[in-house]
Amino acid sequence: MIHGPRRGANSAPSQRALADTRAPDEGDGVDTSPSISDSIAKTTCYMCACRCGIDVHIKDGKVRYINGNKDHPVNRGVICGKGSSGIMQHYSPARLKKPLLRTGPRGSGEFREIEWEEAFAIATERLSAIRRTDPKKLAFFTGRDQSQSLTGWWASQFGTPNFAAHGGFCSVNMAAGGLYSIGGSFWEFGEPDWDNTKYFMLFGVAEDHDSNPIKIGLGKLKARGAKVVSINPCRTGYNAIADDWIGIRPGTDGLFVFALIHELLKAGRVDLDYLLRYTNAHVLVVQEPDASDDGLFVRDVDGNPLAWDRVAKTSVQATDPEAKPALTGSFEVGGRRCVTVFQLIADRYLDDSYAPDAVAERCGIAADTIRRIAAELAHVAFEQTIELPIAWTDWAGRRHETIKGRPVSMHAMRGISAHSNGFHTCRAIHLLQVLLGTVDVPGGFRFKPPYPRSAPPGPKPAGKNAKPMTPLDGMPLGFVCGPDDLLVDGAGTPLRIDKAYSWDAPLAAHGLMHTVIRNAWAGDPYPIDTLMMYMSNMAWNSSMNTVETITMLTDHDEAGNYKIPFIIYSDAYYSETVPFADLVLPDTTYLERHDCISLLDRPISHADGPGDAIRHPVVEPDRDVRPFQSVLIELGARLGLPGFINDDGSAKYADYADYIVNHERTLGIGPLAGWRGKDGTLIGKGEVNPDQLQRYIDNGGFWHHDFAEDQRYYKMANRSYLEFAEQMGFIPKAEPIVFQLYSEPLQRFRLAARGHGRVMPPESERQRIETYMDPLPFWYVPFEEAVVDLEKYPLHALTQRPMHMYHSWGSQNAWLRQITSQNRLFVHHRTAAGLGLVDDDWVWIESINGRVKGQIKLIDGVNESTVWTWNAIGKRRGSWGLRDDAAESNRGFLLNHIIGDQTSADAQARRYSNSDPVTGQAAWFDLRVRIVKCADDEAGFTEPQFERFHEPPHFESSPDILRYGAEFRVKREAAE
Amino acid sequence: MHPAFSVVFFTTATGAGYGLLALLGVLGGFQIIPADFWLGLIGIGLALGLIAAGLLSSTGHLSRPERAWRAFSQWRSSWLSREGVASVATFIPAGLFGIGWVLLGKTGGWVSAAGLLAAVGAIVTVYTTGMIYASLKPIAQWHSRFTLPAYLIFSAMTGGVLLNALCQGFAIGSKMLLAACVLLTVLGWGWKLATWLHNDRLEIPTTANTATGLAGGTVRSLEWPHTEENYLLKEMGFRIARKHSARLRQITQALAFALPVLLLAATFALPWPFAAVPSVLAAIVQFAGMLVERWLFFAEAKHTVTLYYGR
Amino acid sequence: MTCLPSQTDKKLGLVIDLDTCVGCQACVTACKEWNTGGHMAPLTDIDPYGGHVDGVWFNRVHSYEHTTEAGGRTVNFPRSCLHCETPACVTVCPTGASYKRASDGIVLIDESKCIGCKLCSWACPYGAREFDSDVGVMKKCTLCVDRIYNDNLAEEDRVPACVAACPTSARHFGDLGDPHSAVSQLVAERGGVDLMPELGYRPTNKYLPPRAHTQRAASVPAKALEPVRAEGGFLGWVDRMLSN
């Protein structure tokens, strides 16, 4: 249920209006009922990736006030620190005003203003030439894009495989780890059952995604007295309110989880029934070391995985509802030796190397604490079971009178993802959830539609046969199931500029935006012509190794040409990346545009039902700017991309709004799922409804469908839900989704490394593939930790964005920057004392990649071997409309400068991207540092410093004083 | 607390001015000192001049001085308002007293009554000034039994030393007055020393624990709500290093008390006109010393809001 | 009129739950955006894009580390006007600009009377008053007096902006003078406290301290796990379980 008896999240009796809200007769002349707005526009926030519903109050053509939409399934009326600061974002002096063409050297910030027509002409000419010759010479990477179903499709129509958004350096480990295991993951894919869970485990920094829903959820847990356990080196934010804070050493979460699994297995506290029904625990795995199918499932002639019926003593289809499958043991089927998946799990995790005592020191957690947490998990899962009195029917037609639940839930995000061992750690967390039987059950973790999908889901990445003037045969991003799906040539060379879906990062489901600049600069695997980017600060806080990245963006070849020949960039603000573009396409703010938050893309569904949303212009731009999506659509038409033109060559869509309503990806399925069909009565599939956007606007900017009671849990096997999902086009067929505790796709890569199959890794990559493509999750030392001298670099260094800025587009925001405009390096008291440091000292933070200077702040609530700071506070002088004396560019610092974008050279002098070897997720949190007090004359200012950017023509200088809102009062009082 | 010069000067100048006025009013009113024209003109002029300059300086502290008239309205609850009323009201008898003494050349009769009333007004005004600070609970160094007497003593002291300087200058000095000034200065010195001793040993019940409601143990500020200094920190978060504070206390003692005592003592031994020199010097040095004292009065005062900032 | 009402009909105020506040700053900016166009508009920001930025805010969130023998905890701490029952910030005001409403107990400033002497901010132990140097007057939290009775808002929205915004439901609003009100009951139930009670300002707003069991992990009465007792260890146990 989205709503209780009252609207909104804050509707407890202690949060309501007074019983009598008539103004008392105070006689003090206070106007207690001023008029607030002339109109209220309901749209979707874009201050971060959370996509809450907002009510924008417009007064005299200006934004008076923004509050949360009480009906919206994401935020239910609440609004975060960022959302309420949207006014300052919208009226920022750093907004770009007109298209810009570079006149000075790249990186100088010297531009001239041009008309849109000229901008289109330049881009069209350049891109046409690329498309006619070699479309992959366009690399199109879109950062914090919320329109990937459009941008990805555009890339596909253009014919370049070189497309991705920012997921590769954000949280692809979490997404891929989940999608390959349970067909869903956290955040957009699922959420804890906040109303029923009794024990909530939060791993790592999680203030990043699903900001308001998690906060609403935590509030519910606190109100009910449910236990919150946080596993995080830092005791800030959500961890501050945890009942139990476990200050783990970074990068060891996997070990900790395995120790919990070890304890649970040893004590027999796992849900065997759940495993048999919903997972591949009983599936038989071939155990013949030299065979080409070793480690793959034993299948029947139709390809169905088999299990062993312990009663009939014969193999059966694993999904046979009548079977009595064995969970353990070794068998012979058709002359092949095989064991169950669960046997492999037991063998691995019951090993003493995963016992609490064995991992305690490494994790920095007492063995007794690990045992206690395991006991608590078991107690809540098995002694505090929930039963909802709702009958449901599973996929096989078995009716269940109640919905049973084990009220343990978990959440993890960036903190787990951003390590080079993150993929397997994410899998480990899902394994733990599944062993406890807590996935999509009351009180557990719940999927948000369109998830669950098969693990892994549907389409494979396209781009094997990129050809001039030809669209790709699918979308650039997808899910590989084995080496055959990789985008590599016969020699194993990557086909994509970012090396996604290559042996470097086989499961790179979100691409590797963080490798593009280096690879394009090095011409590895090939040179490109144009790098087109949107909304991602790659010359600053979105790149690792910023200093070298800047050099690569400005580097010339021997002929004096830029090594990356042409850069097109779209941004709404004068960010640090804009000065590196040759052509700048100024975007609008989020209040000036159309957008769709689509089920085809990154949906905003709720576990109780699917939903999507729109943005629509609520104020008119006062500058010569255009929404990037409309620009892209026009560019598509000018280039003559199929899909963007009619048969007569005319533009198919007038703009993004037109596209949102009229585009159909497949028959009857378009960007928006609500009010489809001619009369707007259909959901999911249906004809185009020309009135669709208005229906969204009328409904508050979003569409949400509430599930029937019996569709809400066990979605992986719930007949009623699965049928609905098929009908909506979420899944191809109403078949059960089986959790892949053992991942066959990973094993296929291992087999290739052993010399089996059609597509094999080059000799040099075989050991790496063999090691990391383990079909069962395992733990290994994060890469940087494994190679650096730990005595020389004794500390882990982490970053997190403060909650009031996470995923927010820039801190030039006049209000938010007041809260944090200088970041400190937080150091544990004892660690500092050991280094002779005191509060407020200035220190050099040194890694193998360089050094950066900042000021420390002593703290107790942090793992002693860890230092951390707020990320992306440091800004470059000349950007974001900030004054030269702003703390951001003088005292704030960017840890990115010292995070390598590549691993150290291995024995064969090979350097990989500093990423997870499975997914290519950027390993931000692997960083090791030492801190050294700086000399007295070095204190007080950060280094490295960079040359100040010029500002673009007609850039308005930032005001000395801001009196936002004064005009409303003046008018109000004048009217009285 | 931020030692704003306008307030430092205001309290010091009006303190001395009201002290001088009160003494002139009483001593003149009871004809203990002669109705010397020059003493009257310069003495009352100086007293009212110091008061006026102080009040003017204090309005400089106001952001909306054009509304200052409103400050006379809330005398029922506000010591600041009472100060305003008292200070202005005092001008009436003080003015009459001045007219009588200087223009009419008499200090008896109604002029005497006006002088006595002016003295009462002056004392009341200094009392209200003292109470403004003494009543502020968030500042433990001010909210103490030492504050109000300090204002009264310092007012009498600086006023007395000024009067002595004038009398010595106009050759009508008296050993009695001189002795009283030495005694007042020693009393002021002792009171200041006692105040500092008290403040240094102050155990303030308000702590970061009570400020946050977090009982027991230690409460340590981790992050401020804002990076840069805000109004609260600029106005109330002023910090002075212990070293500076010790040095300024020494300077205060030297200028406000020790040197004036020595100079006044020297006056005993010197005949007119030479006696005038140390007496005038004593007044000037003491006034300078009291400015330092008053600066420290603010700088060393710690407002409870600083607890929220870990200061 | 800076004399205090002998009593107020209601004691409207906030209850802030330190056990639940995650320090997200939502209440801080929601307050800022409402009030910068509201009753005391604007909440001026000086040098908004520079190195000495200094704005007027009615609500600010600190963070602390509270360390006791039982362990340590990070506490996020929102700080705003507590609408005291005996607010010296009102009685010290020489002009009558500061006043406490007799009807609902809200402490307000009538800007048109403020001379900017700042004495009220000295008298407030909590740092609730913020000076707008641009306008030259003191400003402060109004408890959203222009929301809670506002006929132009839907009835359900007539709560302070900070309460409406708070994503974790850590903020509550109501009449703390009525012992039967939901907020009063919440305070009683959770042992809500006054800030600096020793100063005698009698704040209306209450703070709910972090729950005592925090860091003690006492809330789950779990028995230690024992290895399964079955022939063949864990695998034997699995077999036996499946055969049952």
CATH number at residue A61: 2.20.25.90
Query: CB of C97 within 8 Å of any CB in chain A?
Result: no
Question: Shortest CA distance to C61 belongs to which of C162, C159, C183?
Answer: C162
Instruction: Kindly list the residues from chain C whose CB atom is less than 8 angstroms away from the CB atom of residue B213.
Output: 18, 193-195, 207, 209
Query: CB of B67 within 8 Å of any CB in chain A?
Result: no
Residue A656 lies in a domain: no
* Total count of domains within chain A: 3
Nearest residue, CB atoms, B227 vs list A822, A859, A861: A822
Q: What is the pLDDT of residues B124-142, one digit of tens each?
A: 999 999 999 999 999 999 9
State the nearest Cα–Cα gap between A186 and chain C, in angstroms.
19
Q: What is the pLDDT of residues B260-308, one digit of tens each?
A: 999 999 999 998 899 999 999 999 999 999 999 999 999 999 999 999 9
Instruction: Kindly list the residues from chain A whose CB atom is less than 8 angstroms away from the CB atom of residue C55.
Output: 814-815, 818, 962
**Residues C236, C238: Cα–Cα separation, whole Å:** 5
The pLDDT of residue B61: 85
Say if residue A811 is in the same domain as residue A924: yes
Nearest residue, CB atoms, A17 vs list C76, C134, C158: C158
CB contact under 8 A, A372 and C43: no
**Residues A731, A722: Cα–Cα separation, whole Å:** 8
Burial class for B217, CB neighbours closer than 10 Å (0-12, 13-18, 19+): middle
- Give me C20's structure tokens: 């639940």
Last residue of a domain, one of A449, A466, A485: A449
The pLDDT of residue C243: 86
Q: How far apart are the first and last CA of chain A?
A: 44
Please check the confidence at residue A3 and state whether its pLDDT lies above 70: no
Q: What is the pLDDT of residues B149-163, one digit of tens each?
A: 999 999 999 999 999
Taking all residues of chain A, what is their mean pLDDT, rounded to a whole number? 96
Q: What is the pLDDT of residues A270-296, one digit of tens each?
A: 999 999 999 999 999 999 999 999 999
Where residue A293 sits, what CATH number does that domain have?
3.40.228.10
Please give the helix or strand (H or E) that residue A662 lies within, else none.
helix A656-662
Instruction: Kindly list the residues from chain A whose CB atom is less than 8 angstroms away from the CB atom of residue B227.
Output: 818-822, 887
Please check the confidence at residue A5 and state whether its pLDDT lies above 90: no
**Residues B11, A4: Cα–Cα separation, whole Å:** 62
Residue A345 lies in a domain: yes
CB contact under 8 A, A819 and B226: yes
CB contact under 8 A, A818 and B220: no
CB contact under 8 A, A968 and C37: yes
The pLDDT of residue A908: 83
Q: What angle do CA A206, A212, A217 make, to 5 degrees?
A: 80
Nearest residue, CB atoms, A859 vs list B222, B226, B228: B222
**Residues A248, A246: Cα–Cα separation, whole Å:** 6
List all residues of chain B from 200 to 229 with a beta carbon under 8 Å from chain A: 220, 222-223, 225-228
Q: Which CATH architecture has domain B5-62+72-215+222-308?
A: Up-down Bundle (1.20)
> Testing the interface with C: which of A32, A87, A812, A829 to mutate, by most C Cβ within 10 A?
A32
CB contact under 8 A, A17 and C148: yes
List all residues of chain B from 114 to 133 with a beta carbon under 8 Å from chain C: 132
The tally of CA atoms less than 13 A away on the side-chain side of residue B138 is: 26
The pLDDT of residue C217: 44
- Give me B209's structure tokens: 């624990």
Q: What is the pLDDT of residues A811-864, one digit of tens each?
A: 579 999 999 999 999 999 999 999 999 999 999 999 999 999 999 999 999 999
Say if residue A195 is in the same domain as residue A72: no
Last residue of a domain, one of A389, A420, A449: A449
Q: What average pLDDT does this structure show over C219-233?
A: 87
Question: Shortest CA distance to C14 belongs to which of C62, C75, C82, C78?
Answer: C82
The tally of CA atoms less than 13 A away on the side-chain side of residue A688 is: 14
Q: Look at A115-129, A239-253, A675-689, A808-822 and tell me which has the smallest mean pLDDT.
A: A808-822
Rg (CA), chain B: 21
The pLDDT of residue B4: 93
Last residue of a domain, one of A38, A72, A90: A90
Residue A24 lies in a domain: yes
Q: What is the pLDDT of residues B48-101, one digit of tens each?
A: 999 999 999 998 889 999 999 999 999 999 999 999 999 999 999 999 999 999
Query: CB of C121 within 8 Å of any CB in chain A?
Result: no
Nearest residue, CB atoms, C94 vs list B74, B215, B230: B74
Please check the confidence at residue A672 and state whether its pLDDT lies above 70: yes
The 3-state secondary structure of A666-678 reads ECCECCCCCCECC
The 3-state secondary structure of chain C reads CCCCCCCCCCCEEEEEECCCCCCCCHHHHHHHHHHCCCCCCCCCEECCCCCCCEECCCEEEEEEEEEECCEEEEEEEEEECCCCCCCHHHHCCCCCCEEECCCCCCEEECHHHCCCCCHHHHHCCCCCCEEECCCCEEECCCCCCCCCCCCCCCHHHCCCHHHHHCCCCCEEEEECCCCCCHHHHHHHHHCCECCCHHHCCCCCCEEECCCCCCCCCCCCCCCCCCCCCCCCHHHHHHHHHHHC
Tell me which chains share at least 3 CB pairs under 8 Å with chain A.
Answer: B, C
The pLDDT of residue B34: 87
> What is the domain range of residue A881?
794-938
Residues 6+ apart with CB under 8 A from A58: A37, A38, A39, A40, A41, A64, A618, A619
Confidence of residue A187 (pLDDT cuts 50, 70, 90): confident
Please check the confidence at residue A918 and state whether its pLDDT lies above 50: yes
Complex prediction ipTM: 0.97
Instruction: Kindly list the residues from chain B whose CB atom is less than 8 angstroms away from the CB atom of residue C127.
Output: 232, 236, 305, 308
Q: How far is CA A958 from CA A885, A965, A967, in A?
A: 13, 17, 19
Q: What sign for the dihedral angle of Cα A957, A962, A967, A968?
A: positive
Q: What is the pLDDT of residues A888-910, one digit of tens each?
A: 999 999 999 999 999 999 888 88
Please check the confidence at residue A2 and state whether its pLDDT lies above 60: no
Q: What is the pLDDT of residues A594-628, one digit of tens each?
A: 999 999 998 899 999 999 999 999 999 999 999 99
Say if residue A197 is in the same domain as residue A81: no
Please check the confidence at residue C237 and state whether its pLDDT lies above 80: yes
The tally of CA atoms less than 13 A away on the side-chain side of residue B56 is: 6
Q: What angle do CA A520, A524, A525 make, to 5 degrees?
A: 115
Q: What is the pLDDT of residues A15-41, one digit of tens each?
A: 999 999 999 999 999 999 999 999 999
CB contact under 8 A, B213 and C124: no
β-pair type (A190-192, A163-164): unpaired
Confidence of residue A205 (pLDDT cuts 50, 70, 90): confident
Show the DSSP H helices in A327-443 as ranges.
Answer: 341-349, 356-363, 367-383, 414-417, 422-435
Q: Is A501 left (phi over 0), alpha (psi -120 to 50) or beta?
A: left
Q: What is the DSSP letter of A887?
A: H
Please check the confidence at residue C214 and state whether its pLDDT lies above 70: no
Where residue A874 sits, what CATH number does that domain have?
2.40.40.20
The answer to whether C43 and C31 are in contact (CB under 8 A) is: no
Domains (ranges, CATH) in chain C?
Answer: 12-208 (3.30.70.20)
Nearest residue, CB atoms, A375 vs list C38, C211, C222: C222
Say if residue A84 is in the same domain as residue A182: no
Tell me which chains share at least 3 CB pairs under 8 Å with chain B.
Answer: A, C
The pLDDT of residue C216: 42
- Give me A833's structure tokens: 């004392």
Nearest residue, CB atoms, B226 vs list A818, A857, A859: A818
CB contact under 8 A, A346 and C234: yes
The answer to whether A23 and A33 are in contact (CB under 8 A) is: yes
Q: What average pLDDT does this structure show over C130-151?
A: 98
β-pair type (A244-246, A227-231): parallel
Is the pTM higher than 0.90? The answer reads yes
Please give the helix or strand (H or E) that residue A230 lies within, else none.
strand A227-231
Q: What is the pLDDT of residues A458-511, one digit of tens each?
A: 899 999 989 999 999 999 999 999 999 999 999 999 999 999 999 999 999 999
Say if residue A56 is in the same domain as residue A180: no
Say if residue A85 is in the same domain as residue A178: no
- % of chain B surpassing 70 pLDDT: 100
Say if residue A191 is in the same domain as residue A42: no
Q: What is the pLDDT of residues A747-803, one digit of tens each?
A: 999 999 999 999 999 999 999 999 999 999 999 999 999 999 999 999 999 999 999
Please check the confidence at residue A865 and state whether its pLDDT lies above 80: yes
